[in-house]
Amino acid sequence: MNSKRTYAVIGSGMMGLEHMRNLALVEGAELAAVADPDVGSRERAEAQAKALGQSIAVYEDSDQMLAQTAPDAVIIASPNFTHSDVVKPVMKAGCAILLEKPMCTTREDALALEQAVRGYNPLFWVGLEYRFMPPATRFIERVHAGEAGEIKMLSIREHRFPFLSKVGDWNRFNRNTGGSLVEKCCHFFDLMRHILQDEPVRVFASGGQDVNHLDELYNGEVPDILDNAFVLVDFAGGARAVLDLCMFAEGSQDQEEISAVGPIGKLEVKLPSADVIWSPRDKSGPDVEPVSTAPEALAAGSHHGATCYQLHHFHAALTSGSAPQITARDGYRSVVMGAAAQESIATGMPVAIDFEDEN
């Protein structure tokens, strides 16, 4: 089977550059072109491609890029608020697509795209890559094997650094990002669904902007993005999940911690420590399983190797014709959960979730 496929990247900001570095690690993946309207981003893409030995064409306009290069697959890593528009001509061109998270910034746009993808035959994959961090992958394998029994409580904690600067400072405002709980935390809401293999029915959240960006001003506006939150999610099967987000805790030893507790015991994983810890109720533990990540994957990105592993899976699906591991439905539902959390904080009330409008 011929494993060679050509790729293009739309959006060569921080995440686009990360995809470029990781594509270089995927056998058979040939990066042909990059498109970005920002001249500085294009220059950085050209410089990185040269350093990686990638021979690419660089375009200001993605439509022109699609017409002139006809790639097999396109990675869309443009700003969140552009996804809904940027993806349409790529679908019209019939390319396989990896659309970075969040799928869209609003429930309505995400639903419209999810419905459009139902009739789309090429591979369509949403970039919720946290499933592919090797320690998290191993943790999920052990949860799904039933080691702790049926999970009753799931906890995800991310204590990290503030939002980084982006081109045009687009990520400083809810209207561009969907809000912190959509922009950043769709990863974690996807993990909740994936780990519990169940669907949410209710979200209750509390959060605020208490520390970060308060002294910044952009065209007379102060940023309005949340920098901390607690989000409680009730699932149909009775399990409860909680997200603890703090974006002014860059001094933490571990940025992410995930724990799942069932009637037999507790499994947890910490990143970047990369240990999966088993603590059975009979007190015969704890047992610590270190999980390694390929050094080249760690060096190529800032997501604990997840981008590299996801691209390997994406390329394998592209060459074999198999189904995406992360679907448009997954992308849509992660946006719905994040938007519900934002709404709950704004109103002070729980928000019920149902997905009947998908039908």
Pair 334, 102: CB distance under 8 Å: yes
Mean pLDDT of the chain, nearest integer: 96
Provide the CATH number for the domain around residue 122.
3.40.50.720
Q: Which domain holds residue 51?
A: 5-128+314-320
In a domain, 90, yes or no: yes
Give residue-wise pLDDT tens across range 144-201: 999 999 999 999 999 999 999 999 999 999 999 999 999 999 999 999 999 999 999 9
From CA 320, how far away is CA 25, in angstroms rounded? 19
| 147 and 174 within one domain | yes
From CA 245, how far away is CA 225, in angstroms rounded? 13
pLDDT greater at residue 334 or residue 285: 334
| 254 and 140 within one domain | yes
Measure CA of the first residue to CA of the last residue in the chain; give whole Å: 37
From CA 20, how far away is CA 122, in angstroms rounded? 21
| 140 and 80 within one domain | no
Give residue-wise pLDDT tens across range 211-268: 999 999 999 999 999 999 999 999 999 999 999 999 999 999 999 999 999 999 999 9
| 143 and 120 within one domain | no
Distances (CA, A) of 111 to 35, 101, 308, 331, 359: 26, 14, 28, 9, 10
| 230 and 176 within one domain | yes
What 8-state DSSP symbol labels residue 323? P
Give residue-wise pLDDT tens across range 26-58: 999 999 999 999 999 999 999 999 999 999 999
| 160 and 67 within one domain | no
Is the per-residue pLDDT at 1 higher than 70? Answer: no
What 8-state DSSP symbol labels residue 218? B
From CA 204, how far away is CA 72, in angstroms rounded? 42
In a domain, 342, yes or no: yes
The mean pLDDT of 277-296, rounded to a whole number, is 96
From CA 231, how far away is CA 248, in angstroms rounded? 17
* Amino acid present at 188: F
| 24 and 160 within one domain | no
In a domain, 305, yes or no: no
If one counts the domains in the chain, the total is: 2
| 186 and 288 within one domain | yes
The mean pLDDT of 291-309, rounded to a whole number, is 95
